Amino acid sequence: MRLAPGIAVAVTALALTACSSGSNSSNESASTSTGAPSTSSAAPTTTPTQGDCAAMYLSQFTLRQKLAQLLTVGVTGEADAENVVKTEQIGGIFIGSWTDKAMLAQHQVDAVQKASRTPLMVTIDEEGGRVSRAKDLIGVAPPARSIPGSMSVDEFYTFSLDRAKKLKALGVTVDFAPDVDVSSQPDDSVIGDRSFSDNPDVVVDYAGAFIRAMNDAGVGSVMKHFPGHGSGSGDSHTGAVHTPPLDQLQGKDLVPFRKLVDSGAAVMVGHLDVPGLTDPDRPASISKEAMALLRQGTGYGAAPFEGVIFTDDLGGMAAITNRMTIEEAVEDALVAGADNALWITTDAVPKVLDRLEDAVKTGRLPGAQVDKSVMRMAKFKGSAPHC
């Protein structure tokens, strides 16, 4: 998988130390327990393996901090963001329509970054059209549906690269875009003009150009909404959404995910009930079967997906909130196989983490699975150790 370069500014000092010498505290403890001399000046006799490096990186976190790395939450402004980062070392913040734009316009995110021990994801919904949270700062972009008729793929790449560079200059590290849903529904429907086309190959061409632009600017991108919202029955903000059966998604809705699986983009899984894939009342965002379909790839003719899996918003969309609490939803999503749970407020973070700690300690959420997700997040953010 190709990863977007330069998403993070720096690797934490602790991770660098852990992977550059044999003198960190965890190594000294290991030496003592095996009877070997604990000599901090001794050079390591072997190059650390990838597994060793992962263990060293993970050792900087408590269990609660590891779990916090798997959460992205919406913030109202600098004080809210700084508080949740300082107190819980959350992995990411989300800049929504309700967020004080001084966070970006006045570079307040810089202070929030300094409160984080590892590079913090600063995420935003910036598709263009009616889903554009930074248009006042980087300019207006047309809705996706109008783009194939007005720009070539190369022109759209250039246009998107300029916007991606402007987002990065504001402190944004991840854009929850592009929308790769394939749809012919009316412009004002939940997907509608957010879709590039009802032709999956057109979607692939233009979404691929967008992802390349984000990669080249050093901003992470996120394809959405797996396994395809374009033919869904309604709006998951207001209630349950049912898609056509899985076999009917194969030749249309799943095509962009299949063809762009190794593009370097992460994937957002939607709150979609999919006959032939998800169990009743278990939408894709909390479904083990949906996560396995994406991760393994075999069920829809794709390569295995090695990147980050995000959920759609778990706290403000009735397709989830009508069914369960935020604590239940986050646990279910991570147990199902998501790497990062997204919701739009910070107030529930402590009780969510309390529940997740209990889930690990009681075996509902395997610790090894948590570690894998933390490492995927580190790679996506550019903070994983290189050794």
Distance between CA 179 and CA 283 in Å, rounded? 19
What's the pLDDT at 50? Answer: 63
Multiple choice CATH, 62-381, 3.20.20.300, 1.10.10.10, 3.40.50.150, 1.10.3720.10: 3.20.20.300
271 catalytically annotated: no
Q: What angle do CA 114, 118, 121 make, to 5 degrees?
A: 85
Radius of gyration of the chain (CA): 21
Distance between CA 67 and CA 65 in Å, rounded? 5
110 catalytically annotated: no
What's the pLDDT at 49? Answer: 64
For residue 94, what are the β-bridge partners? 74, 123
> Which one is catalytic: 162, 235, 237, 262?
237
> Which one is catalytic: 175, 273, 312, 339?
312
Per-residue pLDDT of the chain (387 residues; tens, 9 = 90+): 444 444 443 334 333 333 433 333 333 333 233 333 333 333 344 445 666 888 999 999 999 999 999 999 999 999 999 999 999 999 999 999 999 999 999 999 999 999 999 999 999 999 999 999 999 999 999 999 999 999 999 999 999 999 999 999 999 999 999 999 999 999 999 999 999 999 999 999 999 999 999 999 999 999 999 999 999 887 888 888 999 999 999 999 999 999 999 999 999 999 999 999 999 989 999 999 999 999 999 999 999 999 999 999 999 888 899 999 999 999 999 999 999 999 999 999 999 999 999 999 999 999 999 999 999 999 999 988 875
C-alpha torsion 294→298→7→348, nearest 10: 20
What's the pLDDT at 256? Answer: 98
What's the pLDDT at 387? Answer: 57
What's the pLDDT at 180? Answer: 98
For residue 359, what are the β-bridge partners? none
For residue 95, what are the β-bridge partners? 75, 124
SS3 content of the chain, % helix, strand, coil (to 5): 45, 10, 45
What's the pLDDT at 53? Answer: 87
For residue 62, the 8-state DSSP code is -
For residue 185, the 8-state DSSP code is S
Where are the chain's structural domains?
Answer: 11-60, 62-381
C-beta neighbour count of 79 within 10 angstroms:
12
Within 8 A by CB and 6+ apart from 246, the residues are 227, 274, 275, 276, 277, 299
Supply the pTM of this predicted model: 0.87
